[in-house]
């Protein structure tokens, strides 16, 4: 009888993990918010371009505390936060501001699986905004600055006992600092949005041998029908070898070996090309061999595609895909979520916007002043979408001019601010280099934080010569890079033209339609032009598309429409912010978009 009573009391006192969490606040939410299981958050493998068979997800409910800047590790925490959702977001379960005078602390405990044996254990963070310090079992193991790139620690020497205690401290000055932050601002309004502080991508651990592959650089060379692969490695010895096997589906077509540290060339006979119309991906297995024994193995993929520019028969410099003129057309995609802010509620949600972009008849996405988790780029690779990748804005902006050639204004950033920019941009490029969907790098947007434009452009090109560089999207033009990028709202307008570079319309549109019940704000919603219903909005979109089509023949080689979804106070998306309503007629938009794209094929 006593045993039965004890069990009953224990069950009553035990509070389910899920009961400790619920979304905070009363803002609109996506349908995926209802699908979140706090014991199994974003369970998909986070790095599909370099996949191992074993890993463990550390996402879930952690302890958190918001303290004054400079205080010591908390003795008591404020409550639970759902990682990896930023503390300001609804899905974190907290929804509190932090700011430059506070610090955000996290604590969790995890167990390393017993079957990982004598492996080294790597602790990975997808992204943490902005400056973070880390302790494992009360020993400080490292720090990191930068809100958009992944990083990791080898925590093997610091493991102690069965359960490991991880503590993280984050400081993020948001718009009070010079660091890249995109659209984040401490007082959100208009086109500026809620700050994002702390962990906002998956945290995970994986086991590796002492000799292992740590990074991949994958570059297709379509003109010579070959692929160049270089692998960064850890702990290797002279004589260790990399073996790369290429598969067409499940059929093995190539097997090549090379010494570690060397560029490995893989020749492909009549390669299958990747394009938005036919996004074919080759699969690969990469093995690290030491003494003829496999000590590490990762799975990856690649695409054979080429992005370039060339003058056409009319003397216009055109973007080319796989050595053919190709008009790139897509939406400005900011990647914000009403419930998760920077973080999509689920992987299905992360993929949804890309699927919708394809349904709308687009072949490109401009990822605007934000960097996404690795899985987003893999979805683009698999679905067939070209990507222009912006560097997130930071620091301040000079006076912005957009209608003159080569009269760009620049700010004088401090040495520290320049170093922050270059460190983060280089890390972003290194992180995203293997993803074939990315075809354009955009170092600056609308003058924000723009400095040393020619130098930064040339440096970016040196970091990755395989892609085009759009130096200054929207204005403050300099005679550098591959692209002249114009912005014009609301309608398309070719008011400048460069006879020696590709000319594109980097932003236009912004047709607004506020829909009650799907608004982040009840007042002061914003769009360049606003209409009252879907029919009017669609008609105006089609009108603009027809005008754009006429400008393709006279000079435009790409265009970007603003935007994929509403975002906070902006109501100019194809979809509402909660993704529950399509605000235009999808079939009519698709027909109009396909007509524009086909202008270069006529």
pLDDT at 528 over 70: yes
CA dist., res. 129 & res. 171, Å (int): 8
pLDDT at 518 over 50: yes
Would you give the DSSP letter of residue 192?
A: B
Domain coordinates in residue numbering, the chain:
17-208, 212-302, 307-600
Cβ 220 vs Cβ 305: under 8 Å: yes
Sheet containing 203-208, strands listed edge to edge, beginning at the edge strand earlier in sequence: 56-57, 203-208, 120-125, 151-154
User: What is the DSSP pairing of strand 102-111 with strand 163-171?
Assistant: antiparallel
E strands, 427-576, in order: 438-442, 444-445, 468-469, 472-473, 483-487, 502-509, 511-512, 529-530, 556-562
Task: Kindly report the CATH class assigned to 212-302.
Answer: mainly beta
| Residues in CB range of 262: below 8 A, 6 or more apart | 230
Would you give the DSSP letter of residue 140?
A: E
pLDDT at 9 over 60: no
pLDDT tens digits for range 314-338: 999 999 999 999 999 999 999 999 9
pLDDT at 424 over 90: yes
Q: Is the dihedral of CA 364, 425, 428, 273 positive or negative?
A: positive
Q: Is the dihedral of CA 511, 516, 521, 525 positive or negative?
A: positive
State residue 409's pLDDT score: 83
E strands, 184-306, in order: 198-199, 203-208, 212-221, 226-234, 241-248, 251-259, 264-267, 282-290, 293-302
CA dist., res. 70 & res. 66, Å (int): 11
Cβ 86 vs Cβ 342: under 8 Å: yes
pLDDT at 19 over 80: no
CA dist., res. 560 & res. 447, Å (int): 18
Burial class (CB in 10 A: 0-12, 13-18, 19+), 40: exposed
State residue 1's pLDDT score: 43
What are the two backbone dihedrals, phi and then psi, of residue 246, each rounded to the nearest 5 degrees?
-110, 135
Angle between helices 453-463 and 415-432 (to 10 degrees): 30
pLDDT tens digits for range 376-409: 999 999 999 999 999 999 998 767 888 888 877 8
C-beta neighbour count of 352 within 10 angstroms:
18
Name residue 111's beta-bridge partners. 163
Measured CA distances, 52 to 186, 208, 306, 350, 578 (Å): 39, 9, 28, 22, 34
pLDDT at 14 over 90: no
CA dist., res. 331 & res. 311, Å (int): 26
CA dist., res. 369 & res. 181, Å (int): 8
CA dist., res. 268 & res. 248, Å (int): 11
C-beta neighbour count of 547 within 10 angstroms:
15
pLDDT at 10 over 80: no
Name residue 559's beta-bridge partners. 329, 505
pLDDT tens digits for range 161-202: 899 999 999 999 999 999 999 999 999 999 999 999 999 999
Q: Which CATH architecture has domain 17-208?
A: Sandwich (2.60)
pLDDT tens digits for range 443-484: 999 999 999 999 999 999 999 999 999 999 998 999 999 999
CA dist., res. 319 & res. 504, Å (int): 9
Question: Interior CA angle at 338 toward 367 and 441, to 5°?
Answer: 10
What is the SS3 assignment for 333? strand
Cβ 302 vs Cβ 282: under 8 Å: yes
Third-level CATH fold of 307-600: TIM Barrel (3.20.20)
Would you give the DSSP letter of residue 384?
A: T
State residue 327's pLDDT score: 98
CA dist., res. 401 & res. 397, Å (int): 11
Would you give the DSSP letter of residue 50?
A: S
Whole-number mean pLDDT of the chain? 95
Half-sphere exposure of 43 (CA within 13 A, CB side): 6
CA dihedral 232, 233, 237, 239 (to 10 degrees): -50
């Amino acid at each position: 009888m006593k045993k039965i009573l004890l069990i009953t009391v224990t069950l009553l006192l035990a509070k389910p993990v899920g009961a400790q969490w619920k979304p905070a606040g009363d803002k609109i939410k996506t349908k995926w918010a209802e699908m979140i299981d706090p014991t199994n958050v974003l369970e998909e493998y986070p790095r599909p371009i370099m996949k191992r068979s074993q890993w463990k997800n550390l996402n879930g409910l952690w302890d958190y505390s918001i303290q004054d800047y400079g205080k010591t590790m908390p003795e008591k925490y404020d409550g639970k936060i759902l990682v990896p959702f930023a503390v300001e977001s609804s899905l974190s379960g907290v929804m509190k501001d932090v700011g430059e005078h506070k610090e955000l602390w996290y604590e969790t405990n995890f167990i390393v699986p017993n079957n990982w044996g004598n492996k080294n254990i790597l602790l990975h963070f997808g992204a943490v905004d902005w400056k973070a310090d880390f302790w494992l079992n009360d020993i400080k193991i490292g720090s990191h600055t930068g809100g958009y790139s992944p990083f990791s620690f080898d925590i093997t020497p610091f493991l102690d006992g069965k359960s490991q205690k991880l503590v993280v401290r984050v400081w993020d000055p948001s718009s009070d600092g010079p660091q890249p932050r995109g659209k984040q601002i401490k007082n959100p309004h208009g086109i500026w949005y809620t700050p994002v502080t702390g962990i906002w991508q998956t945290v995970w651990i994986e086991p590796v041998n002492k000799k292992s592959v740590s990074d991949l650089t994958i570059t297709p060379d379509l003109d010579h029908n070959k692929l160049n692969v270089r692998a960064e490695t850890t702990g290797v010895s002279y004589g260790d070898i990399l073996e790369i096997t290429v598969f067409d589906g499940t059929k093995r077509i190539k097997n090549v070996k090379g010494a570690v540290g060397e560029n490995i060339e893989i020749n492909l006979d009549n390669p299958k090309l990747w394009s938005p119309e036919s996004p074919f991906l080759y699969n690969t297995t990469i093995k690290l061999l030491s003494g003829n024994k496999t000590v590490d193995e990762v799975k990856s993929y690649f695409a054979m595609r080429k992005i370039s520019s060339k003058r056409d028969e009319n003397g216009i410099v055109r973007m080319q895909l796989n050595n053919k003129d190709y008009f790139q057309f897509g939406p400005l995609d900011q990647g914000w979520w009403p419930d998760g802010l920077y973080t999509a509620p689920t992987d299905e949600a992360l993929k949804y916007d890309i699927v919708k972009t394809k349904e709308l008849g687009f072949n490109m996405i401009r990822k605007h002043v934000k960097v996404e988790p690795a899985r987003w780029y893999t979805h683009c690779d698999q679905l067939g979408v070209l990507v222009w990748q912006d560097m997130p804005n930071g620091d301040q902006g000079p006076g912005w001019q957009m209608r003159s050639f080569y009269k760009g204004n620049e700010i004088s950033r401090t040495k520290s601010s320049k170093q922050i920019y270059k460190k983060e941009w280089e890390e972003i490029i290194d992180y995203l280099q293997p993803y074939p969907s990315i075809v354009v790098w955009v170092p600056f947007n609308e003058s924000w934080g723009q400095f040393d434009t020619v130098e930064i452009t040339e440096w970016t090109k040196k970091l990755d010569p395989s892609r085009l560089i759009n130096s200054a999207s929207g204005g403050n033009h300099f005679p550098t890079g591959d692209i002249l990028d114009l912005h014009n709202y609301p309608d398309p307008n070719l008011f400048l033209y460069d006879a020696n570079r590709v000319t594109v319309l980097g932003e236009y549109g912004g047709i607004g339609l506020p829909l009650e019940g799907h608004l982040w704000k009840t007042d002061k919603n914003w769009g360049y032009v606003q209409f009252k219903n879907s029919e009017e909005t669609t008609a105006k979109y089609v009108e603009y598309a027809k005008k754009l089509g006429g400008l393709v023949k006279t000079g435009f080689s790409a265009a970007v429409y603003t935007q994929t979804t509403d975002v906070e106070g902006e109501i100019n998306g194809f979809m509402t912010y909660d993704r529950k309503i399509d605000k235009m007629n999808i079939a009519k938009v698709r027909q109009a978009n396909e007509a524009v794209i086909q202008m270069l094929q006529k």
